[in-house]
Structure 1
Amino acid sequence: MAIKLEEEFQELLRSLNRNNVRYLLIGGYAVILNGYIRNTTDLDVCVASDDENAIRLVRALKEFGFDVPGLDGSLFTKPKSLVRMGFEPLKVEIINYLEGVDFEKAYSNRNVIELAGLKIDLISVEDLIANKKAVGRHIDLADVEKLEKINKQILAEK
């Protein structure tokens, strides 16, 4: 399965890694990397909301080139924070919460994968399914159906 991650997305993830940001790749790319190939129009990242991680995240974003007025760590420590950058098909959404899943639990369950020589902290399929069920949009529930079927097949093969 050849997954193409846009160069701009790769560079953002490299910057997060270089700055030791605690993050999880979630959303459409997480669905794809967990086995269900479908279209996605953005990159969704969830970050830890503690002060130290927020400082590292701001440093990573500035290094990436997202140095806008008002960019400081408090943006990422407020409850249910959402920051959007860019436009489709190169839109990035950074959030600091996961519906239906505790970030710390999900981070400890994460899968560290490598794609095109890039290390990515990927939400586990179990936590992705729980998150998508909690969000409950039509696309999320369709993802859940496919991911559960794929996960069931994988478990049956073990």
Structure 2
Amino acid sequence: MENSLLDSIKRICQTLNKHSVEYMIVGGTAVALHGYFRYSTVSSGAIADKPDLDFWYNPSYQNYFNLLDALEELGQEVTSFRNEKQPAPKQSFFKYELDDFTLDLLPKLKASLRFAAAFAAREVVQLSGIEIAFIGYQDLLVDKATSARPKDLADIQELKNRRKSE
């Protein structure tokens, strides 16, 4: 992973942690944290112009407002979300096109995983003293299998091959 992307992950996670946001990194970045790095690709299979970072957040009301606080600290505009008469955290997907990457914050995954159970099984690494939470290995495989795109199936095979060789 490139240093600027790693620095961005650390900055985002540090801010999420500061605001007590329950989250896990998912998607291709989680695959990399589990040992297999590949570049982000678009639906055609071509390498994307910039990587995407996918975060799955607990869609409880308290966590949703904690997330809004963190996003605001990260320089994102969240006023319209704060002013919603009937917030719907379970339906609130956030997508930010930033200079070096795309940031996606997801209230749910395609797989029928429950956040609380997956959060209990999450893995955590320390980078420069910052806790980085990411989806556990088995849950990642379930999510990738549910998506079943060619790149997801390739990720599963690569991860399993790496586990066998360890």
**Which TM-score applies when normalising by structure 1?**
0.86
Q: Secondary structure at the match of 2:53?
A: strand
Q: Secondary structure at the match of 1:31?
A: helix
Q: Which residue of 2 aligns with 1:45?
A: 55
Q: Which residue of 1 aligns with 2:70?
A: 60
Q: Which residue of 1 aligns with 2:89?
A: 77
Gaps of 5+ in 1: none
Matched, 1:97 2:108: yes
Q: Which amino acid aligns with 1:10?
A: K
The question of whether the paired residues in 1 share the 8 Å contact of 2:68 and 2:78 is answered with no
The question of whether the paired residues in 2 share the 8 Å contact of 1:34 and 1:147 is answered with yes
Structure 1 residues 137-146 or 70-79, which shifts more? Answer: 70-79
Q: Which residue of 1 aligns with 2:45?
A: none
Q: How many residues align?
A: 152
Q: Which residue of 1 aligns with 2:43?
A: none
The question of whether the paired residues in 2 share the 8 Å contact of 1:24 and 1:123 is answered with yes
**Which TM-score applies when normalising by structure 2?**
0.82
- Percent identity between the two aligned chains: 29
Q: Which residue of 2 aligns with 1:132?
A: 144
Gaps of 5+ in 2: 41-50
Q: Looking at both structures, which has the greater relative contact order when contacts are Cα pairs under 8 Å and sequence separation is at least 6?
A: 2
Structure 1 residues 67-76 or 30-39, which shifts more? Answer: 67-76
Q: Secondary structure at the match of 2:80?
A: coil
Q: Which residue of 2 aligns with 1:114?
A: 126
Q: Which residue of 1 aligns with 2:15?
A: 15
